[in-house]
Amino acid sequence: MTPGETPPAPNPGEDLLWPGPATVRRGPKPRFTVAQIADAGTRIADAEGLGAVTMQRIAHDLGSTKMALYRYVPGRAELDAVMLDRSFGMPRPQHDADWRRALAAWAEGVHARALAHPWSVELAQRPHRPGPCELAWYEVGLAAMADLELHGGEKLDVLALLAGHAMSIVRQESASAAPEQELAASMQRIFTTRAADYPLTVAAFSDPGGARGDALRFGVERIVAGVEALAASRREG
């Protein structure tokens, strides 16, 4: 901390994701903002993985001390929450009148954001309270289904299915550029010598058709088709 700096008053219960009205503070302007600290953590996570992110490392990169940063961010849980929400960013509004294409675009957007920050998948799958950016994604996804004969909880489940599928693909892609092909190649010797034990599996891996290499699109289309069938059954009922 620089000499003469007046840090924010310590407040472990302060909600960093949903701050109240700004408080006018006396003295010099604080050296850092919560966003700057979270963005420093994001740069480290992008380069070296989530495990490399510590308050000590962030303080070093910002030219500060760990204890000084605790005046802005009370702990790691709060830091993770802000990093996750900022990794989502604000979604693009969907203007497609076809809800199927709008939902597909929503899922592709989630995939793109998570792929840009693969560590966010781990944070998103931990129990957490959504921040403003994440709730904005909810709003866009729910808007696409506004006219469907589904209950609110069902619509939320649809978004959970789409997001979960998109993030599972990110997990695979962040580990390998072509996960399905690499798995098949690594299993080739076993498939050759043990084909009689696993005939259906060998046949499936040997079939060049289907959605191989495009699992994101295939899964999204199947989820959307299921939603369409459910909505149609409600209309008919």
Q: Which residue has the tokens 């006219």?
A: 147
Structurally, how many domains does the chain consist of? Answer: 2
With b meaning 16 or more CB within 10 Å and e meaning fewer, what string describes 190-213? ebeeeeeeeeeebeebeeeeeeee
Which of the pair, 8 or 42, is modelled with greater confidence?
A: 42
Question: Residue 179: what pLDDT?
Answer: 60
pLDDT one-digit tens code per residue, 42-84: 999 999 999 999 999 999 999 999 999 999 999 999 999 999 9
At which of 59, 88, 117 does a domain end?
88
Q: Which residue has the tokens 């420093």?
A: 40
Is the domain of 29 the same as that of 84?
Answer: yes
User: Cα(135)–Cα(117) distance, rounded to whole angstroms?
Assistant: 18
Q: What is the mean pLDDT of the chain?
A: 86
Is the domain of 113 the same as that of 123?
Answer: yes
At which of 25, 54, 88 does a domain end?
88
Question: Residue 27: what pLDDT?
Answer: 52
Most confident of 2-6, 14-18, 56-60: 56-60
pLDDT one-digit tens code per residue, 179-234: 666 666 777 888 788 888 888 888 887 776 654 558 899 999 999 999 999 999 98
Q: Within a domain: residue 194?
A: no
Minimum mean pLDDT among 2-6, 15-19, 80-84, 227-231: which range? Answer: 2-6
Is the domain of 141 the same as that of 51?
Answer: no
> Where does residue 163 fall: left (phi above 0), alpha (psi -120 to 50 degrees), or beta otherwise?
alpha
At which of 65, 88, 111 does a domain end?
88
User: Cα(105)–Cα(96) distance, rounded to whole angstroms?
Assistant: 9
Q: Give the long-range contacts of residues 30-33, CB within 8 A, separation 24 or more.
A: 30/5, 30/6, 30/72, 31/1, 31/2, 31/5, 31/7, 31/64, 31/68, 32/62, 32/64, 32/69, 32/72, 33/72
